[in-house]
Every structure is written in C-alpha cells, then in structure tokens.
Structure 1
Amino acid sequence: MIVLRLPGGLSVRLHARALAVGLAGALVAAALGVLAVAAGDYPISPADVLRVLAGGGSPADRFVVTELRLPRLATALAVGAALGLAGAVFQSVTRNALGSPDVLGVTSGAATGALVVVALGSGSPALGGAATAGGLATGALLYALAGRPGAAGQRLVLVGIGVTAILTGVNGWLLTRAPLTDAARAALWLTGSLDGRGWANALPLLAALAVLLPAVLLARAPALRLIEMGDEAAAALGVPVRRVRLGVLAAAVLLVSLAAAAAGPVSFLALTAPHLARRLTRAPGPNLLPAAAVGAALLVAADQLAQHAVAGHQLPVGVVTGVLGGGYLAWLLAGERGGRR
C-alpha cells in the first residue's frame, strides 16, 4: 500500500500494482502520443518531436508539432482520461459493470444539447457550450428521477436506460429538423471525432481534470471503495454516503459533458477503460488513476487506427471505439456466461 499526500491534509491510498498500472498506462499513452505526432503527410522522427517539445527543433517542425498535431493529441489524451475516470466513478457508484455514461444517458444528453443548437441554426462556437449544458441537465435529471436514496445500483441504471431511449428519439427528431448541411455536420459530430480539434477544445477539459482529479475524485476514492460495500456498511464506517455520491457524480457528469463538447460523444470508452484497468490492477475499488491512464492510451491508439486503417480515408474515432468497445463487451458477456456468473 502506498500513501499519496495531497494539499490540505488529504491523503490517498493506492495499491502498488494499481499505481504501477497507472504509471505504465501514462507512459504508454505518452509513447503513443509521440508516435502520433510524428506520423502524417509531413513525417517527423520521434527524436525530432521530443526535441520540439523540449523547446528546440526547426521552425517547420515546431509549426507542425505545436500548431497542427499537438492540439489534437492533447484533446485525445484529455477526452480519454476524462471518460475513463468518469466511467470508473459511474461503475463504482452504481455497483454495476454496465454503469457507464453511455448507458445512463449522460452522453445522449450532451448530444441533445448540441443538436438543439444545430436545429436552431446557431453556429459551431455554441455547440460545445450546449453539449456541456445538455450533459449536466441530464445528470441532474437522472439524480432527481432515481431519488437520493436510490441514486445507486440497479435503480439508477434502469432510469438511465429509460432516459437514453427517450433522448435517442429526441436526437433523431432534432436531426430531421436541422438544415441538410448542418445535419450532415451534426451526424459526423455524433460519431465522435478529433479531426480539426485545437487548443480551444482541449483547454477547458484539461482545466477541469486539473481541478477535479485531486480535489474531488482522488480525495473521495477511499469513500467510494467503502460505498461499493453497500450504503449501510459505508455509513456505519462514518462515510457521508449521499454527499460523497452527489459530489463524485457531479464531477463525473461534468467531465463527460466537457469531453463530449471537445470531441463529440465517443462511445464505449467510458465502459471499456475501467474494465481493463480493473483486470490489470486486480485491486478492489474504483481504480480511478489506472482507468484514466488506460482511457487516454486507448483513445490515442484508436485515433491512430482511425487515421491509418483505411488508405486515403480518415474514420471518425468514435467508429473505432464503438467497434472495438462493442466487441469487447460481447466478449466480456460471453465470458461471464461461460463462467456462469
């Protein structure tokens, strides 16, 4: 067991294997990021990429790296980390392996907010703010419908499935109301894409991660681990269950909403990353840091696959995460059935 001291007298206990998995995932994500920045129509060696990041390199290399490719990489890392982290929180709070923002409707709510803007004919600058507002409103609706005593476990998942079904119908109707060109752009956004992303897309999410990761999520990780044992047991051990649950859910919903605003609703990543992190760490609890690192590495890898899998064409990254994440879920369910669990 390793204890990390945080400002304000807070501390976080981490299993050594969980910390190792988190560090390894961060290193893999960084290595994949360097390779991603190096690849492209204007190839740059990984050594030159590192030289530019250290403040050197030729003017052409600096322009390509810092202005064209690094913002996309920063967006991918931030979105992947945010979705992995939020997925781990949702699965921990609901005590359900399927408790991800995709299933619970938060992602669909962010899409609804964006589509309202598209249907009204507003410009792209308002899209990110509308997606954030839609995700936050859906999170508040879920908490209200589930009820504070029932905002965990099966009840929240079932309410989320119903909300997702409603919002899916609303989103389809909004697409039919939008002008044809706007509807085509909205359909591309709905698949999840990192194409053309700049610093304006990455910075709000990076700032949210910098604040929420230490201040809310890591500080509440021990309480989340106790809540997984059941509300009664956690309350008996002195955990303010409702306050902790509301705080971590609000933080997770905000991260999902900002991630959707930055790259669109990237599917299945918030479901898959925590599962992989838990299998790698073999440790109880939400595994927040490993899930964030695994999510970042997965999205960078998926983006590279999306750019180079089909010669002459770039796929939206959400297509790749949907195919791979759906395949992983099918394999996981088949394994659970084979093991009679």
Structure 2
Amino acid sequence: MTTTESPQKSPQWTLRSRSGGISLRLHRRTAWIAAVLVVLCLVVVLASLLSGQFPITVEGVFRALAGQGTLQQRYFVNDVRLPRVLVALLVGAALGVSGGIFQSLSGNPLGSPDIIGFNGGAAAGALVCMLLMHDSSLLATGVGAVGGGAAVAVLVYLLAYRGGVRGYRLVLVGVGVNALLSAGIAYLLSRAELTDSLNAQVWMVGSLNGRGWDQVWILLVVLVLVLPPSLALSNPLLTLELGPEAATSLGLPVNSLRRWAITMSVLLSAVAIVTAGPISFVALAAPQIAKRLARSVGPSLAISGLTGGCLLAVADLLAQRLFPAAQLPVGVATVVLGGLYLGWLLVGESRKGLA
C-alpha cells in the first residue's frame, strides 16, 4: 500500500494498493481523533486496573498481566478488573455505533435507541424471561432481548411508515411506544415475586458489577460479526441524509437500507443490554460528541464507537472510585451525566429553532 496526498495539504490521505486497483480515503482529523480516543481508552484501562480497595502498582499490574506476580494480584487484575473494563469498552462501543445509526436514520440528535424505545423493547423481552419464565441465563435473556428489540423495531417502523419513513415520525412514534413499554415494565415488576422484582430493578439500572470473561467473549463474538457491516453503513447513511428522493435518484435502495440499518442497530443494542442492562444516554451522547470531535457532516460510526467505549469506561471508573463503599451502578452515573447532556442539547436545539 502507498500513501498519496496533494501538494496543497489535502485534509485527507488516500491509501492505494501498488496496482492501483484498491484505494481508501482517510480524513486526517478523523484518524487523529481515533488515535487519541484509543490512547484514552488505554489510559482508562490502566487506571481501572490500578485502582481499587486492593492497591496494585504499575509494575504489579504488568506482572499480573504476564501471568506473574502474587496470587492476589493475578486474581484482581485478570479475573476482576480487566474483564470489567473490557465489558465497559465493548458495551459502550456497541451503544455508540447503535446510537449513531439511529440518529442518522432519524436526522435528529434525539433519535437514539433508549429514546425511541428499542432499548425498552429489548429490556422488556429480557424481563419476560427473567420474571415470567424464571430463566436468567445469558442465552434466555439474550433471546428475549433480541426478540423484544426486534418486535419493537418492526412496530415502530410500521407505525411510522406512510409511503416511506420520515425521521421526525420515527422519533415521535418511538417516544410513544417507549412510554407504553415503561408502563409494561412497571407492571411486570409489580406482579413479580419480591426477590425477583428487586433483582430485576437492579438489572434495569444498568451495572457492570460482577461482569467476567463470559460476557467479554459474548460481546467480542457478536461485535466481530455485527460491527463490520454496521461501520460499512457510514457512506450509505450519509447519502440517505440528503433525503430519500435524492438518495433514490443516486441509486440507493432506501427502504432496504433502513431495514438493514435498524437490524444492525437493534442487534448492537440487544447485546449491550444482555451483558450490562439497559444503560441509558451513552447511545444518545456518544454520536453527537463524536460528530463534533471529527467535524463530520455525516455519521462517524467508528468514532462514535470509540467515544461510547471511552465514555462508559470513564463513567464506570468514576462510579467505582467516587463511591467505593456503595459500588454505585454505572447506569446511575450515565443517567446523571446524560441528563445534563440532554438538557444542554435541548437548549441548543431550541435556540436553533429545531426543537
């Protein structure tokens, strides 16, 4: 591969194979932002491995990662802290990409899975397995979450379809369906056994407590299968943002693209909910932060994923260290931060006259 750039310092690099048959354009700013976010994620991982009630030095962390050090160091680093921070990064990445897809489809910064109701559908499906079928295994809750999210996605799509799907209709219908789902979830919790209801309420907050390598491998397998086709949607979604008529005139299959994008987003949301519970606001905030960082005109799904992973890992680290005795669930931290961000976003949109 060779790298070429124009003499006038083009804002992007062009990577070409030696034969010239394959070329790839890479924006300079996007590449630098991605590199910075990767470094930040690594810093958060190291900070998470170092901090805790059992103190470990930097040397002790690296010795434990290499399979050396004391038994306690290997246990806390390799079996407790490392899988937890990896789950945070992977769940945040899944939510960031899912939110980026939905916001691009709806053309609205409020069009995230937790606002539109797809996360609520996945949570309701998982709760049906937990409370009605009394099966809290990863397989059962996974099937329930995917089924519930898919059912809500189909319902919202059909209700919003009027010779096509407009972004504002998708958001409005999704908000209404989300309200109904909240009532249904509250009913399930009220009719369940007390112990089951309390456990389900803790799960509903969203937490990374007790997450281990089982969740890491599940996330890795699903993301390896789902992320590449999801990231490949960046350019088609950018074209779709021009409007359905313009996208159709350019030869883009609009309806099939929307269905495929919604399917990928629902899968990403469902796997995040199964492993960590319905964590709120990451899917809402990460794509908007990524868009401002990259200064992109369309969805920057790769940057959204990195931003989401970094946000959730930082939020979990803060939740653990600010309240070490309480073991505050990360969902509480994201709700606080996300509520502040949502208020700022609504004020900004109202000033533009778009709210």
The reply to whether TM is greater than 0.5 is: yes
Residue 103 (structure 2) pairs with residue 82 (structure 1): no
Partner of 1:180: 194
Distance in 2 separating the partners of 1:314 and 1:97 = 32
- SS in structure 1 of the partner of residue 242 of structure 2: coil
Q: 1:321 aligns with which of 324, 334, 338?
A: 334
Q: CA deviation at 1:226?
A: 0.7
Map of 2:346 onto structure 1: 333
Question: 3-state DSSP class of the match of 1:80?
Answer: helix
Aligned to 2:5: none
Q: Deviations over 1:273-300 (max 9, x none)?
A: 0111111111111000111011000001
CA contact (8 A) 1:306 1:315 kept: yes
| Partner residue, 1:193 | 207
- Match of residue 154 from structure 2: 140
Alignment of 1:157-172 (within 5 A): 157-172=171-186
Paired residue type of 1:87 = G
Structure 2 gap segments, 5+ residues each: 1-11
Note if 1:269 corresponds to 2:299: no
2: CA distance, partners of 1:237 / 1:138? 30
The answer to whether 1:292 aligns with 2:305 is yes
Cα offset, 1:152, TM superposition = 4.0
Q: Secondary structure at the match of 1:150?
A: coil
CA distance in 1, matches of 2:129, 2:217: 22
Distance verdict in 2 for CA 1:316–1:232, change over 3 Å: same
Conserved in 2, the CA contact under 8 Å of 1:85 and 1:270?
A: yes
Partner of 1:242: 255
How far did residue 135 of structure 1 move? 1.7
> Tell me, what secondary structure is at the counterpart of 1:229?
coil
Among 112, 121, 128, the residue aligned to 1:109 = 121
Deviations 1:196-238 (A, max 9, x none): 1112222222222112222x12222111111111111112222
Once the two structures are overlaid, the 10-residue window that deviates more, 241-250 or 28-37, is 241-250
Q: CA separation in 2, counterparts of 1:149 and 1:143?
A: 12
Deviation at 1:76, TM superposition (A): 0.6
1:48-86: CA deviation from partner (whole Å, max 9, x where unpaired): 323443555444322222212222112111100000010
**Distance verdict in 2 for CA 1:69–1:121, change over 3 Å:** same
Decide which of 217, 220, 235 is 2:233's aligned counterpart.
Answer: 220
CA spacing shift, 1:42–1:311, aligned 2, 3 Å: closer
Is 1:35 equivalent to 2:47 in the alignment?
yes
Structure number with higher relative contact order (C-alpha < 8 Å, ≥ 6 residues apart):
1
- Per the alignment, residue 269 of structure 2 pairs with 256
Structure 2 counterpart of 1:210, one-letter code: V
Q: TM-score, structure 1 length as denominator?
A: 0.92
- Amino acid of the residue matched to residue 225 of structure 1? L
1:310 match = 323
* Whole-angstrom CA distance in 1 between matches of 2:252 and 2:14: 19
Give, in angstroms, the shift of residue 305 of structure 1. 1.2
Match of 1:203 in 2: 217
Conserved in 2, the CA contact under 8 Å of 1:150 and 1:156? no
- CA distance 1:2–1:239, change in 2 (3 Å): farther
For residue 158 of structure 1, report the CA deviation from its aligned partner: 1.3
Paired with 2:39 and 2:174, the residues of 1 have a C-alpha distance of 35
Q: What one-letter code is carried by the residue in structure 1 that aligns with 2:160?
A: A
Q: Label 1:69 to 1:195 Cα distance change in 2 as closer, same or farther (>3 A).
A: same
Q: Does the 8 Å contact 1:121/1:178 carry over to 2?
A: no
Contact residue 146 and residue 266 of structure 2 kept, 8 A: no
Deviation at 1:45, TM superposition (A): 2.2
C-alpha distance in 1, partners of 2:159/2:320? 41
Q: What code does the residue aligned with 1:71 have?
A: P
Moved more, 74-83 or 37-46: 37-46
The residue that corresponds to 2:292 in the other structure is 279
Identity percentage of aligned residues: 46
- C-alpha separation in 2, matches of 1:11 and 1:188: 49
